Amino acid sequence: MTEDAATGAVTAVTDGPVLEITIDRPKANALDAAASRELSRLFAAFRDDGDLRVAILTGAGDRFFCAGWDLNAAAGGEEFEADYGEGGFGGFGELPGLLKPVICAVNGMAIGGGFEIVLAADLVVAADHARFWLPEASLGLVPDAASIRLPRILPPVLANEVLYAGRRLDASEALLLGMVNFLTDTADLMKEARSLAIQVAEAAPLSVAAASEIRDRTAHLSLPEAFKLLRSGELDAYEAMLASADAAEGPKAFTEGRAPRWQGS
């Protein structure tokens, strides 16, 4: 692995096509605005690096994935709507043009903004002791990103209970509700996350980008509207995939019984 950054709050290493980012802010891996801006910088660099295919985000230790907004920073005068960077709180949930998958490896409690980070991920691997909780309403705040994303994942009444009453979800519940891809022992968490990342990285990068673009651009549309957009020629990543050498390489490699050699073009 190659170390890319070490700020004392966030560390990043690359391992081939995979970028691994770790939030390391004792005691609870809570983020202030500066740490979130650093995450935004790292995820923007990941977006723009043609050699990187997948990112894994996790927390240091085995108790907290991320406890959300650092309330010590809040007590020191940092505003709730501070500048969290181009990607929003946590670095990637609002990052323009990010068509590469982010995997959250949830090593412990995901609280408040930490839970919102998990909701923004493309794939989630969780330790079997992980917990998910939104305490904002009890603090006079609102989990704004979760208020958008959670009702799209959970049944409305359950989403409301989590948002309004702070219902806590354990790892098993999160798995059953479709918020987590799979659970694992704490000791195997990063091994399993890396294995999943490699599976994704072995797919054609333009195909992954096209699928991500289609998902994002059609999420609010009816089926007829979605298919109209799909055939309109206005989806850049989709059109690039259709016209790519990789679109010919995949079927050719399959018929020849060999692994495809993706060019990303």
Tell me which residues are annotated as active site.
116, 136
In DSSP terms, 111 is beta-bridged to 133
CA distances from 221 to 217, 227, 238, 243 (A): 8, 9, 17, 25
Query: Among 166, 91, 93, 175, which residue's Cα sits nearest to residue 130?
Result: 175
Query: Among 1, 15, 11, 217, which residue's Cα sits nearest to residue 99?
Result: 217
Query: Among 250, 247, 238, which residue's Cα sits nearest to residue 265?
Result: 247
Radius of gyration of the chain (CA): 19
Query: Per the omega criterion (within 30 degrees of 0), is the bond before 27 cis?
Result: yes
